[in-house]
Amino acid sequence: MKLHDFRELERLPGAAHPSVYRVRYACACGDDHLGLLSHDELDWAPLGLRPSLFLNLMTDRLEPLQDEFGDLAARRIGAGEWPWSFFCYPEERPRPMFPSMFWLLAPGTADGSIGVAVRCPACLNVSINIVSPEHVDVPFHNDAAVGVVRHVFRDDALRSIERFEAELYSASFDARRLELH
Ligand SMILES: [Zn+2]
Ligand SMILES: [Zn+2]
Indicate the SS3 state at residue 164: helix
- Min mean pLDDT across 39-43, 59-63, 165-169, 173-177 is at 59-63
How far, in Å, is the centroid of ligand 1 from the Cα of 15? 27
38, 16 in Cβ contact below 8 A? no
How far, in Å, is the centroid of ligand 2 from the Cα of 124? 6
Could you say which ligand is closest to the alpha carbon of residue 90?
A: 2
**Which residue, among 87, 76, 63, has the nearest Cα to 135 in the 3D structure?**
87
Q: Which amino acid is at 59?
A: T
- pLDDT for 69 beyond 80: no
The reported pLDDT for the residue numbered 117 is 92
Percentage of residues in the chain with pLDDT exceeding 90? 26
The reported pLDDT for the residue numbered 155 is 62
The reported pLDDT for the residue numbered 93 is 94
How far, in Å, is the centroid of ligand 1 from the Cα of 6? 13
How far, in Å, is the centroid of ligand 2 from the Cα of 13? 23
Q: Tens digit of pLDDT for each residue in 92-150?
A: 999 999 999 998 999 877 678 999 999 898 998 889 999 999 999 998 999 999 999 88
Mean pLDDT, the chain, whole residue set: 81
pTM (whole model) above 0.75: yes
21, 40 in Cβ contact below 8 A? no
How far, in Å, is the centroid of ligand 2 from the Cα of 70? 31
Residue 36's beta-bridge partner residues? 22
